[in-house]
Amino acid sequence: LDDDGEERQEKNQTRSGCFIVLWKANCEYLQQYYNLEKEPFGRMKRSGPAFTSKVKDMQIFFGLNATGVLDSDTLEVMGSPRCGVPDVEEYSHIQGTRWNKNVITYSIGRYTRDLPRSTVDSLVESAFSVWARASSLTFVRSHTRNADIMVEFVTYEHGDLYPFDGPGGTLAHAFGPGLGAGGDTHFDDNEHWTAGETGFNLFVVAAHEFGHALGLKHSRNPDSLMYPTYRSSRPANLLSREDAANINALYTRGRPNHLPRYNWSSQNNPWICAPDLTFDAVSTLGDATFFFRERYLWIKHNEQYDIKEGPISNFMPKIETRIDAAFWVPRRSTAYLIHAMFWTVKGSLVKGKPRALSHFGFPVWVQDVDAAVHIVKTGRTLFFMHDIYWSYNENRRVMDFGFPKYISEDFPGVNTTINAAVHKEGFIYFFVGPQVYKYDYSQKLVVGVEKANSWLGC
């Protein structure tokens, strides 16, 4: 060959090499997202009926002309950053339809270095709130690895058979509800995660992935949050009507008594803001506070103003009674709910059957308690009944010696029956009728009095 011939051959080889790389990427796209089966020995014919059929499936999904040919519009979509969950088939080997509860726990494992941890925490919480505001769901952060949804930033092969591909391409993926890896949500830490317009907005991607973690599939509607490809510009309200309808259809099935979530205020809910409102039990549970009255429950997320409410059994189906006392032990990520006996609760999942109060070391004549509160600093849970109280050592799991004692002697200023108690930010709050006493445990002094209804934003 002359020089010109050698140059042409070199260019043709280069084009051929680029074509092979591009072709391989397109095949992998269809294999990952449209279930294109690999041919024996990894071969694939771009003109074969199987390949053409999958290209058409992809084009139909994205509203393109269904030609079966890799035209420029099709290649542009294939090259767009997107979610790693398939469009036509979920991660079926562990995919469930929905969580069998409405209070779902989450935990953040490995963080990205792109953002401060506090920013990641806030964006993840906000992404869950997108779904919480539109549904009956409550999300409670846990600091253990036993949470329903584990959130992690990882790269390439990370132990779940769905490796990431480096910058661009697949941004994140999530598994549908279920045991084991069910619900777990992974973000590719080779991407540049941000809280703004540059890079990839973590809030937007996380909200999409949490939709999968709750059981939703991809949508063909470009206005839906569950549309597969990433778009940096989003409306203020991320969820489309379709998204809101789908999440409610999924989590109100079989629950005819389900009550939707509202943003309560004294104007639109005068009953909850009645000046004589009282509670039977109050307890923190992760990042939320639970308020019990008769067989009803309100759940308020800390630092948020919206409240979920409904019958206790809507959130904890095994509990059909009122709750008289409740407390939360953070190091176990466990709540204990008491009515003659006690239930052990993680998230909204009731563990086992109710057990007798004698488990805590109470004498047989104690049939119920009025209030309970756990003090993290001392490792003690205090149980109140009429005018006396007990101190239970959570580390040794025994009652402290010398109890019961009189409440009025050890808690000056609190000389009446306590309806509920909760420990927050170094203070014990005693709910006594419609009033709440803010009690400084170290100084043994009531330092403030407020209305019970103020805890629900009234």
- DSSP letter at 102 equals S
Residue 157: beta bridge partners?
Answer: none
> Is 165 labelled as part of a ligand binding site?
yes
Q: Are 445 and 439 in contact (CB under 8 A)?
A: yes
Distances (CA, A) of 129 to 113, 165, 239, 306: 24, 29, 11, 10
**212 is annotated as contributing to ligand binding:** yes
Place of tokens 């992935």: 209
372 labelled as ligand-binding? yes
How many other C-beta atoms lie within 10 A of the C-beta of residue 240?
18
158 marked among binding-site residues: yes
83 annotated to a ligand binding site? yes
186 is in an annotated binding site: yes
Nearest to 298 by CA among 311, 306, 308: 308
Candidate list 90, 209, 309, 394, residue with the active-site label: 209
CB-based contact 365:412 (threshold 8 Å): no
Residue 324 known to bind ligand: yes
Two tokens, residue 283: 């307890």
Outline where DSSP puts E strands in 193-313. Answer: 193-194, 200-201, 281-285, 288-293, 296-301, 307-311
Q: Which residues pair with 449 in a beta bridge?
A: 437
189: annotated binding-site residue? Answer: yes
Pinpoint the alpha helices (H) of 62-135: 72-78, 117-133
What are the contacts of 19-25 at 24+ separation with CB within 8 A?
25/78
Helices 49-61 & 3-34 angle (0-180, nearest 10): 70
Residues 421/282, Cβ–Cβ less than 8 Å:
yes
Q: Is 166 annotated as a binding residue?
A: yes
Tell me if residue 209 is catalytic: yes
Residue whose C-alpha is closest to residue 214's, from 105, 99, 92: 99
Residue 18 tokens read as 């680029």
Q: Can you name the residues that pair with 307 across neighbouring β-strands?
A: 262, 300
Residue the block writes with tokens 């990520």: 333
Helix axes 202-213, 117-133, angle to 10 degrees: 50
> Measured between alpha carbons, how far is 372 from 382 in angstroms, rounded to an integer?
5
Whole-angstrom CA distances from 384 to 17, 48, 71, 186, 239 are 77, 75, 73, 44, 45
Q: Is 218 annotated among the ligand-binding residues?
A: yes
Of 27, 87, 28, 35, the C-alpha closest to 62 is: 87
| CA distance linking residue 438 with residue 444, whole number of Å | 11
**Is there a binding annotation on residue 188?**
yes
- Between strands 170-174 and 82-83, the pairing is parallel
Residues contributing to the annotated binding site for Ca(2+): 114, 148, 165-166, 182, 184, 188-189, 191, 280, 324, 326, 372
Residues contributing to the annotated binding site for Zn(2+): 83, 158, 160, 173, 186, 208, 212, 218, 226
Residues contributing to the annotated binding site: 83, 114, 148, 158, 160, 165-166, 173, 182, 184, 186, 188-189, 191, 208, 212, 218, 226, 280, 324, 326, 372
Annotated catalytic residues are: 209
